[in-house]
Structure 1
Amino acid sequence: MTRQPTRPAAAPDVGSAADLLDIARSVLADYATEERVREFDEAERFDAELYLELARAGLLSAALSTAGKPHHGRQTAILEELGAGPTSIGVAFVVQYMAVELLASHGTEQQKAEFLDPLLEGAARASFALSEPDGGTDVARAMKTVAVALPDGSYSISGQKKWIGGAMDSDYLILLARTAPISGSAAINGITTFLVRRGTPGIESQEIETMGIRGLAQCDIRMDDVRVPGDCVLGRPDFGFRQVLATLNGERLNAAAVALGIARGAFGTALDWARSRYAFGRAVGGFQALQHSLVDTSLKIEAAALLLEKAVKSADSASASADVESALAKLAASEAAISTTDVGMRLMGGWGFARAMPMQRYFRDARLYAFAPLTNEMIRNYLGERMLHLPRSY
């Protein structure tokens, strides 16, 4: 039975991440029991009621500071909590926070009223359509989706997008398409960002069956002569990819936060099991080898948390760049999540393998962040160049 909302539709006037964390925990306690999370994961359905409750509690509008700039400390606090529970909702929030930042930074007043305000209220959801079948990491050079300007000022968009989260039932796409050919080595130029309503004629979507994050559908999108009015260009024409690049620090931080949440959720489950499961007359947590693996896992989690905290402080500072810090945090948190869920599966044995237990879901979901939003191999390449000042390797 659907509950009536008990929290205000408007964003609460809270200033700290701790306040928002309390609000998030209150909503999750009511709407995200382990049984419910498992139900939506097994059914491979998006929990729209939970999403709406979180939005009504102000957890989407909290993405921005009072000055209208991204507030990374608030975002990561919320996302870490979501990652530890309804992880698919956390991944959905990462996309919405990116949409909020792009619209707040580059949208016209009309676009903010039409697209941003409903998003902040939870009345609409966006999907971010960038990746293509032939281009993930190198998508700018590989981009084949094109938008052709028409005499009346509108655009005709044709092409394909792949791995677009939530696109089956989102309300609009933030979509990037090439509007000018590549000139020289600057592949990132000549790409424009569009706001495309999901019901626009010419758009076809197909769901991709995935191993993890099963509560948020990943989709293929095909576009054939999709007509978009000129006032749906987001920001400066031909500079859309550069606009997206400016959001990458925030996306890495938010991915790190969800991954860290997965690690914490899995670690808590493993630790409870180590204390309560008995073998050979004592708790399995009393065996030295298992203690060592749990301690090592805890070390990775705490190190990732400190790196994320440092990166968030840099990102929220007006005078500092967080490029290297956000890359380090994403790498550390994703590796911690993968390591922790592996330890948890080994510790729980056959019980970890059971779909009635949360560990197998954490194990599956954690794998997303080995390659999203950027592969850990590319993150290492980036850090080799930017942090260690080695020759560029890609």
Structure 2
Amino acid sequence: MSKSIFPWRSCAKQLGWGLVVFTVATMLGDRGYLEQMELLYLRLLLMPIYGTEDQRQDFLRELTSMDLLASYCLTEPNSGSDAASLQTTARRQAGSTDYILNGEKAFISGGGAADVYLVMARTGEAGPKGISCFYVDKDSKGLSFGRQEDKLGWRSQPTSSVILDDVRVPERCLIGKEGEGFTIAMSALDGGRINIATCSVGGAQFCVDAAQGYVSTRKQFGKAIIDFQNTQFKLADMLTKVQASRCLVLNAATALDSKAPWASASAAMAKRFATDECYNVANDALQLHGGYGYLKDYAVERYVRDLRVHTILEGTNEIMRVVMARHMIKSQA
């Protein structure tokens, strides 16, 4: 029986490459999001921008050394795309500077496995200006987790709800100022969208290579499947989609790195196109494998399952179209 295991060894290997430390050093040097390599740590690495010097000293060493794993908590059962309507609250405790957090977060990557959680909670008025950001330790009293979600794909990554029941958080764990939480949350999305698009490109490239290898050796009607023109056309279209996606991702990364005014729209465009088209590529690769592609003996079925959620993560692709359209309208105003 197969097991879904989180790849801790891979995380440790990344530490050996210095990716996490380099990303933090880059951000502290005010060079922007030059390296968008760390999906799991991206949000917590916003601390160099929004955190105080004391918070950097207290939290960053353990995070960049990967002694601690971190999760980002924005989505709630009743606020997905409409993130500004979140209902988790953070209230000052009477006679104290501490905050008391109550609420529930949904679909949290690393839920139950991470050591710390960046929690977006409401400290003030309705809407985005009333949201603040808090650093919450996993051992905090009142913090608990729902069951691990039984997902179609991304099965090795733990995903659960995060439940806060009168969780006491000291004032020093407020990241930024009160009311800045939504800005902090949104500032991570452009890089996150490029990350997801990049993952889609990598997965689709694997599927193209796997499909080409399979049809080159699989014979039907006396010759290799790759010798049929319809197979060649399919492979050509698949490769074109991957290359076009790759170009959009690189363009978006360049715009984000240079802090171009169209960076958010470029990230949304890359995310929308790459995740849609690369999923289609994976699905086409499965089709080229025929019945064998539907078996777990071949890796393409896993890529189909894993890439499917990319059209939902980091903002649905419908929201990506909204972001692009707003940019178009604003630029013409």
What's the TM-score bracket when you normalise by the shorter of the two chains?
over 0.9
Distance 1:285 1:379 in 2: 36
Report deviation, 1:67: 4.6
CA deviations on 1:279-320 (whole Å, 9 max, x unpaired) are 222221111112111111111111111111111111111555
Match of 1:188 among 125, 128, 141: 128
| Residues 1:44 and 2:4 are matched in the alignment | yes
Q: Map Cα deviations across residues 97-128 of structure 1 (whole Å, 9 max, x no partner).
A: 2221x111111222222322222122111000
1:62 to 3, 22, 32: 22
- What is the identity, as a one-letter code, of the residue corresponding to 2:105? K
Structure 2 Cα separation of the partners of residues 160 and 208 of structure 1: 15
* Counterpart residue type for residue 291 of structure 2: G
Could you say if the C-alpha distance between residues 70 and 98 of structure 1 is closer, same or farther in structure 2, counting changes exceeding 3 Å? farther
CA contact (8 A) 1:300 1:332 kept: no
1:99 matches 2:44: yes
1:244 pairs with one of 185, 203, 209: 185
- What secondary structure does 2:39 align onto? helix
The separation in 1 between residues aligned to 2:111 and 2:198, in whole angstroms, is 23
Task: For 1:216 and 1:333, locate their aligned partners in 2 and report how far apart those are by CA, in whole Å.
Answer: 22
Secondary structure in 2 aligned to 1:95? coil
State the one-letter code of the partner of 1:156.
I
Give the structure 2 partner of residue 36 of structure 1.
Answer: none
Unaligned runs of 5+ in 1: 1-38, 79-92
CA gap of 1:68–1:95, structure 2 versus 1, over 3 A, is farther
Residues 129 and 299 of structure 1, relative CA distance in 2, 3 Å threshold: same
Could you tell me the TM-score, scaled by structure 2's length? 0.93
Shift of residue 56, structure 1, vs aligned partner: 2.4
Q: Deviations over 1:336-358 (max 9, x none)?
A: 22111110110001211111221
The question of whether the paired residues in 1 share the 8 Å contact of 2:113 and 2:158 is answered with no
Q: 1:342 corresponds to which residue? A: 283
Say whether the 8 Å CA contact 2:88–2:103 is kept in structure 1: yes
Q: If the length of structure 1 is used for normalisation, what is the TM-score?
A: 0.79
Percent identity of the aligned residues? 28
Contact persistence 2:225–2:231 (CA under 8 A): yes
Give how far 1:69 is off. 3.9
Alignment of 1:364-379 (within 5 A): 364-379=305-320
Q: 2:70 aligns with which of 119, 126, 135?
A: 126
Letter in structure 1 aligned against 2:90: A
Give the partner amino acid of 1:199.
D
| One-letter amino acid matched to 2:132 | T
Q: CA deviation at 1:72?
A: 4.1
Compute the RMSD of aligned alpha carbons.
Answer: 1.9
Give the counterpart letter for 2:143 in structure 1. Answer: I
Inter-CA distance 373–209: structure 2 relative to 1 (3 Å threshold): same
Check the 8 A contact 1:63/1:71 in 2, yes or no: no
Provide the C-alpha distance between the structure 1 equivalents of 2:216 and 2:66, rounded to a whole number of angstroms.
40
Task: Give 1:321 deviation, angstroms.
Answer: 4.0
Aligned counterpart for 1:179 among listed residues 123, 126, 135 = 123
Structure 1 residues 118 and 159, CA gap change in structure 2 (3 angstroms):
same
CA pair 222-356 structure 1, distance change in 2 beyond 3 A: same
What is the aligned counterpart of 1:198 among 124, 129, 138? 138
8 Å CA contact 2:28–2:48 kept in 1: the answer is: no
